[in-house]
Structure 1
């Protein structure tokens, strides 16, 4: 399986991915849209401080069945702005996948005002779990490797 297909398969099957940048790891809900992990952050949504200021991040993906780390992938950060090519499809998909949304009819407008929507596009650089360094912080998602 090509690396990008592996990342797509893992991201589609899991409700969470871990995003690492600026020496911090954040577990985030996401949706796979087209060719990217898509995330809404900031405002009253999940915190990903200044993610839009980074060119790349590391995605850590686990098996939904075993919760074990399967792979890490480098991803390019692309900000999705209101009215841009990806805005409608990404935000509608995120809205559809958002659990416990309190303002379903107005969430997208709220995200446009107070949040940042990003596409995390895999670059093709993938490291399988067996090759991932084990000297990682306690809060990282690498607690189980089965």
Structure 2
């Protein structure tokens, strides 16, 4: 299995992944559609402030069973508008995967008006768990006398 296939497999098996950009990391629910992680954000949906203004983000993918970090992948951000060829398949998948959707019949129209729908398309820049630093650098406190 190549690295891109691994990202797809991990994203398909887990309903949650982490998106990092602008110095912050956000846990998000998503759906894998075609060749991309698809997310709806903003409005009354999950917050991903200004994600549409970024060219790329970093995806962190964990094992569904062990929750261990398996891979990180750089992804290109593509905004999906109602005029896009991707709108129908992406919003259909997001709607079917969205838990506790209060307005199922009107969710897609609401997303078009108040949210942003994005495709996060993984690039070839993928790091596997053994290549990812897992330690956090700390500085020792300096006590004054």
Q: Which interval holds the TM-score relative to the shorter structure?
A: over 0.9
Gaps of 5+ in 1: 138-146
Once superposed, which parts of structure 1, at least 4 consecutive aligned residues long, lie more than 3 Å away? none
Answer yes or no: is 1:11 the counterpart of 2:1. no
Q: Could you say which structure has the larger radius of gyration?
A: 2
Residue 90 to residue 136, structure 1, CA distance change in 2 (3 Å): farther
* Structure 2: distance between partners of 1:131 and 1:106: 44
Q: CA RMSD in A?
A: 1.1
Answer yes or no: is 1:83 the counterpart of 2:95. no
* Structure 2: distance between partners of 1:24 and 1:122: 19
Counterpart secondary structure, 2:58 = strand
Q: Deviations over 1:3-45 (max 9, x none)?
A: 1100000000001010000010000000000000000000000
Q: How many residues align?
A: 137
Residue 103 to residue 136, structure 1, CA distance change in 2 (3 Å): farther
Gaps of 5+ in 2: 138-145
* Structure 2: distance between partners of 1:49 and 1:136: 26
TM-score, normalised by the number of residues in structure 1: 0.91
